[in-house]
Amino acid sequence: MSKGRSMAPVVKRKKLAEVEWKVIEDFCKGCGFCIEFCPVDALEESEKLNAKGVHPPKLKSEDACIGCGLCERICPDFAVHLETKESGGERE
């Protein structure tokens, strides 16, 4: 790999799961692991400051997240959560 290129793996933007991405802002200490390691570059720092004085992560856009769950697993403070979206139909 040449110098200056990102080491992040290339992942197709196919949705793995329909999820709602959530962050408990005051749990975040600003480590940036979720932003740095997101395989589809879906996260960025928000403009807000939390109670610890750091900028918690936010989605760049609603459809940016593919639902892989890496951010949730890598967060050392359990600040990031993915909730599966329920389908609108009834079960048979």
What CATH number does the domain containing 74 carry?
3.30.70.20
Give the count of domains, the chain. 1
**Domain-located, residue 36:** yes
What confidence score (pLDDT) does residue 30 get?
95
**Domain-located, residue 7:** no
**Domain-located, residue 43:** yes
Print pLDDT tens along the chain (92 aa).
Answer: 445 555 555 545 777 888 899 999 999 999 999 999 999 999 999 999 999 999 999 999 988 899 999 999 999 999 999 998 876 544 44
What confidence score (pLDDT) does residue 91 get?
42
What confidence score (pLDDT) does residue 86 get?
75
**Domain-located, residue 68:** yes
What confidence score (pLDDT) does residue 52 get?
94
Q: How far apart are CA 21 and CA 13, in angstroms?
A: 16
**Domain-located, residue 62:** yes
Please give the C-alpha separations between residue 58 and each of 3, 16, 18, 34, 88, in angstroms, as whole numbers: 29, 19, 17, 10, 26
Query: What is the residue range of 50's domain?
Result: 26-84
